[in-house]
Structure 1
């Protein structure tokens, strides 16, 4: 149990993985705890820890199998994980280690074909929608759906709008989109049903970059900076996309 009364569940996911569940909601406080837990687990030097996968309200820990002939140490790992998870504070660890990315975005009909309809449905002018969407400093809650696809927390609740009734078969790379109460960035051309309101020239996923193939990592912060279509086109050309 956390010291604030939040329940913690740990369950085995196959022979060499565990899932820590902190709840079942999408909210900044829970997600901040997930990232704080991830940093604590990484710093603890758990034996054979291979991967940490944070999500909105859970953290997956994947381990390499023990060497041949060694005893199964799963019970010891489980006890150690629970001990590390006990009494975790809020987002202090995650805040201290996260990067801040300034992401240029062209908000216009050519780059976000749903921009006008979304503004009309929500009762905002396009200018007000852009102001509200670009005002927050978002946090990358998790990477999912496709390599490099960042789910961002921090969007103004007034911008929440349902996904499209009919998903598109092709969404351009770099598209900034809203799906329900979430906003995100398509890292490459993909199918998708979120509402498209803009596009960034930034490259979100580069499989040739072995050190950091994904521009954004869970726990990072993102600030959208509106740019003109001319600036968008220039930046796109400069990076050779």
Structure 2
């Protein structure tokens, strides 16, 4: 496993003229994720006055800033930093913050349990996943529901969680021909990844089931059920349980 960089070695680089990237590593691993989550969650709770948005990714955190607010903040501090550009000012402040965060632990992870009705019309590729891996559909379900999946980040579509932790025993390549529309709530596998489509969207993942739970509700705050740092556990339900649950969600 690659050692994480020390605070002094964490690179901070510009992204355009109003954002910077704090990069904690080059590979996807839990330790890197915890550093990403630690900084992103702190900034969510205690944003800089000049910060516009913070965006965590697999190995980095991007911080967007308002240049005028940043320069105004520099003037309030006596104007000494105004000889530097906005990026240099923001990078210096973020570097100072990283020093204070090094001994702070990330908050405990939430555990989110997601019911799934596997196979049938809602999981038309379950047999494909099973046959490619020399398993029965029941064995695929048992393996898929036996893991704890870490939400590394959200992306691709609103509420779509990139999960780590799927067993290689059920890894399956994407479909050669993507489907034009996949219903919200559908659970799929692509390579060594698994996930849930939060909205109706085209996609090429192998579909193995469907959940009656809504992962994206734009009228709520936050609108996404899953957040980076959550632990997801899938469990199997029957079609009758699915239909009853879906009725309650309406």
On whether the aligned pair clears a TM of 0.5, the verdict is: yes
Larger C-alpha radius of gyration, 1 or 2?
2
What residue is the counterpart of 1:85 in the other structure?
98
What residue is the counterpart of 1:144 in the other structure?
155
Moved more, 136-145 or 63-72: 63-72
What residue is the counterpart of 1:49 in the other structure?
51
Q: In structure 2, list runs of 5 or more residues that go unmatched.
A: 73-81
Choose the corresponding residue for 1:204, options 211, 215, 221: 215
The separation in 1 between residues aligned to 2:39 and 2:3, in whole angstroms, is 14
Choose the corresponding residue for 1:15, options 2, 14, 17: 17
What residue is the counterpart of 1:184 in the other structure?
195
Matched, 1:113 2:114: no
| Secondary structure at the counterpart of residue 207 of structure 1 | coil
Tell me how far 1:124 sits from its aligned partner.
Answer: 1.5
Whether the 8 Å CA contact 1:28–1:154 is kept in 2: the answer is no
Tell me how far 1:184 sits from its aligned partner.
Answer: 1.0
What residue is the counterpart of 1:239 in the other structure?
249
The separation in 1 between residues aligned to 2:98 and 2:91, in whole angstroms, is 11
Please report the TM-score for the alignment, with normalisation by the length of structure 2. 0.84
Whether the 8 Å CA contact 2:177–2:204 is kept in 1: the answer is yes
Whether the 8 Å CA contact 1:40–1:84 is kept in 2: the answer is no
Equivalent residue runs for 1:88-103 within 5 Å: 92-93=105-106, 95-96=107-108, 98-103=109-114
Q: In structure 1, list runs of 5 or more residues that go unmatched.
A: none
Q: What is the aligned residue count?
A: 236
What residue is the counterpart of 2:224 in the other structure?
214
Change (3 A) 1:87 1:180: farther
Choose the corresponding residue for 2:34, options 32, 35, 52: 32
What residue is the counterpart of 1:193 in the other structure?
204
The separation in 2 between residues aligned to 1:23 and 1:139, in whole angstroms, is 18
Tell me how far 1:57 sits from its aligned partner.
Answer: 1.3
Change (3 A) 1:32 1:156: farther
The separation in 2 between residues aligned to 1:92 and 1:220, in whole angstroms, is 15
- The structure with the greater share of residues assigned to helix is 2
| Secondary structure at the counterpart of residue 62 of structure 2 | strand
Whether the 8 Å CA contact 1:109–1:116 is kept in 2: the answer is no
Runs of 4+ in 1 over 6 A off after TM superposition: none
Computed over aligned residues only, the root mean square deviation of the Cα atoms, in angstroms, reads 2.6
Tell me how far 1:5 sits from its aligned partner.
Answer: 3.9
Change (3 A) 1:87 1:45: closer
Change (3 A) 1:18 1:68: closer
